[in-house]
Chain A
Amino acid sequence: MTTTATTREVSPGSSGHSAVRPRGVAGSARQALVIAAKDLRAELRTKEAINASLAFAVVILLLFSFAFDEDLLRKMSGGLLWIVFAFAGTLVLNRSFARELPNDCLDALIAAPISAPALFLGKALGNFLLVMAVELVSLPVYGIFYNVRWTTQFWPLMGVLALGTWGLTVIGTVFSALTVNIRLREVMLPLLVYPMMIPGLMAAMKLTTELVAGQPLEGDVLIWLKLLIGFDVIFTALSVALVETVLVG
């Protein structure tokens, strides 16, 4: 009978190349990047989520621009923008784990020696880049329809967009994993994500309203920035801690 030692040292030979154990944080980070690159490549080939999300964002921005008068629009422009981003973002996030369902690809990912946090962070990074792309295309449209000079505080605005989008994608990705096997996941995901996003969205809305009005981030407004950063840190840590349970039970 073949001993365990023999089996453990099965030579690569012609039947394959033995896997090497992933090494620490660097190994997990590399695997997360592999997952993100795979998701981006698949999405860029099919354009299923990004086309729908972008079309939705532009149409909603256009409709909102007819619905309110100019003064009111200026006061609530940050809020409107984030409502559009949140709605359009869930179209991307809905596809995140649903993309793994055909051919049982999720099983192959769960079986692979990649930690659940690395898998989650890779998915979240892919989603983040897709949602940011939708937002960056939507911003000029927003500037035109709402007559807003959104480039005045360009880099601070990019920072706030990145922080708000990270919060949205972290929560959206973990709930995308949780709802992946539910038949009504397209409905369930927004119902779960939006209430959780309230603190983060409030902060992002307030900060964006200030920035698109040309005001720098200083004084009392900074508390909203701290809230947004804290929100991202807390929900990233929580998601990383819980994702193994979400995926395997």
Chain B
Amino acid sequence: MSDVAVDCAGVWKFYGDYPALRDISFQVQAGSCLALIGRNGAGKTTLLRILAGFSKPGKGRAHILGSSPRETEARSRLGFIGHGIALYDELSAWENLTLFGRLYNLPDPRRSAMEWLERAGLERVRDGLVREFSRGMRQRLAVARAFLHGPSVLLLDEPFTALDDRAIAVLQQLLREALAEGRTIILSTHQLREALELATRVVLLSRGKLLFQGERTQEMAEDPGLIYARYGES
């Protein structure tokens, strides 16, 4: 049995004639954490959106746990945090989590929602509308939504951006626990230090091309700028 959780083979993506991704190939082993790094416009978000099944590659294929990201089986085991919090402002925190619990066919959506509200430190405001929440509270609720169904693969697009200290601490702790439990994580970020603390592998993208992929070394963790200096385009 293969132990590849995410398989990206020869992926191209075009916006009109412009190739946003050019022949991207890499694999992520189950239970590992991949840091997807690159400057603005490198193609990180485009790649994550293909892996999450929001768009299809122009050429090549992306597989999550052996199947297309659009397969129900893959989606039920995928968690995603994107640029938006993906929560409804006009619903309460409790209603939002219960809604997604039902969509993910959890055995007991109400209990799962309550547990995650407690873990996110939001149980006291469970009936408050999301539109009334502070930014930090919204972000913590977004993290709870992504982890609610116990996904095997987590795709995180700039997860640390705009988080307050408490939310960063909650997220880092959850990611460590997820790795310890054998879940697979791909996170794109500009915040190299936080990412390289968790990552076991690194992929560097630049203008849609894969410039480097390999193990995260201690040297990289100690000096995050080293990757750009050694492998990045000037």
**A residues at B contact (CB < 8 Å):** 1-8, 10-22, 27, 30-31, 34-35, 38, 41-42, 45-46, 102-105, 107-115, 244, 248-249
Taking A6-B30, A111-B78, A113-B72 as contacts, is the C-beta distance between A249 and B55 under 8 angstroms? yes
How far, in Å, is A12 (CB) from chain B's closest CB? Answer: 5
Please measure, in the bound complex, the distance between the C-alpha atom of A18 and the C-alpha atom of B108, giving whole angstroms: 11
Partner of A15, one of B1, B73, B147: B147
B73:A103 contact, CB within 8 angstroms: no
Residues of A contacting B105 with CB < 8 Å? 19-22, 27, 31, 113
B84:A105 contact, CB within 8 angstroms: yes
B91:A42 contact, CB within 8 angstroms: yes
Partner of B1, one of A5, A13, A111, A113: A5
Q: Which single residue of chain B is at the shortest CB-CB distance from A35? A: B103
Residues of A contacting B174 with CB < 8 Å? 15
**B residues at A contact (CB < 8 Å):** 1-5, 29-32, 52-56, 65-66, 70, 72-73, 75-78, 80, 82-91, 95, 99-108, 111-112, 116, 119, 129, 145, 147-152, 174, 177-178, 181-184
Please measure, in the bound complex, the distance between the C-alpha atom of A167 and the C-alpha atom of B32, giving whole angstroms: 49
Q: What would 27 A/B residue contacts be, using CB atoms closer than 8 Å?
A: A1-B31, A2-B182, A3-B3, A4-B65, A5-B1, A8-B77, A15-B177, A15-B178, A17-B106, A17-B108, A17-B150, A19-B76, A21-B76, A27-B105, A38-B99, A103-B84, A103-B88, A104-B83, A104-B84, A107-B52, A107-B80, A108-B80, A109-B103, A111-B75, A113-B75, A113-B104, A115-B72
B103:A2 contact, CB within 8 angstroms: no
Taking A3-B30, A31-B103 as contacts, is the C-beta distance between A10 and B181 under 8 angstroms? yes
How far, in Å, is A248 (CB) from chain B's closest CB? Answer: 6
Taking A3-B3, A105-B84 as contacts, is the C-beta distance between A34 and B152 under 8 angstroms? no
11 more A-B contacts (CB under 8 A) besides A15-B178, A17-B106, A27-B105?
A2-B29, A4-B1, A4-B66, A10-B181, A15-B181, A16-B112, A16-B147, A19-B106, A34-B99, A42-B88, A45-B129
A17:B107 contact, CB within 8 angstroms: yes
B151:A16 contact, CB within 8 angstroms: yes
Taking A3-B30, A108-B86 as contacts, is the C-beta distance between A34 and B182 under 8 angstroms? no
Residues of A contacting B103 with CB < 8 Å? 31, 34-35, 109, 112-114
Q: Which single residue of chain A is at the shortest CB-CB distance from B142? A: A103
Residues of A contacting B91 with CB < 8 Å? 38, 41-42, 45
Please measure, in the bound complex, the distance between the C-alpha atom of A244 and the C-alpha atom of B80, giving whole angstroms: 19
Q: Which single residue of chain B is at the shortest CB-CB distance from A11? A: B181
Residues of B contacting A30 with CB < 8 Å? 102
How far, in Å, is A75 (CB) from chain B's closest CB? Answer: 44
The 7 closest A-B pairs by CB, nearest first: A104-B84, A2-B31, A16-B150, A108-B86, A113-B76, A7-B30, A19-B76
How far, in Å, is A22 (CB) from chain B's closest CB? Answer: 5
Residues of B contacting A46 with CB < 8 Å? 90
Residues of A contacting B73 with CB < 8 Å? 21, 113
Please measure, in the bound complex, the distance between the C-alpha atom of A109 and the C-alpha atom of B86, giving whole angstroms: 9
Residues of A contacting B54 with CB < 8 Å? 107, 110-111, 248
How far, in Å, is B199 (CB) from chain A's closest CB? Answer: 15
B82:A104 contact, CB within 8 angstroms: yes
Q: Which single residue of chain A is at the shortest CB-CB distance from B178? A: A15
How far, in Å, is A109 (CB) from chain B's closest CB? Answer: 8
Residues of B contacting A115 with CB < 8 Å? 72
Residues of B contacting A27 with CB < 8 Å? 105
How far, in Å, is B75 (CB) from chain A's closest CB? Answer: 4
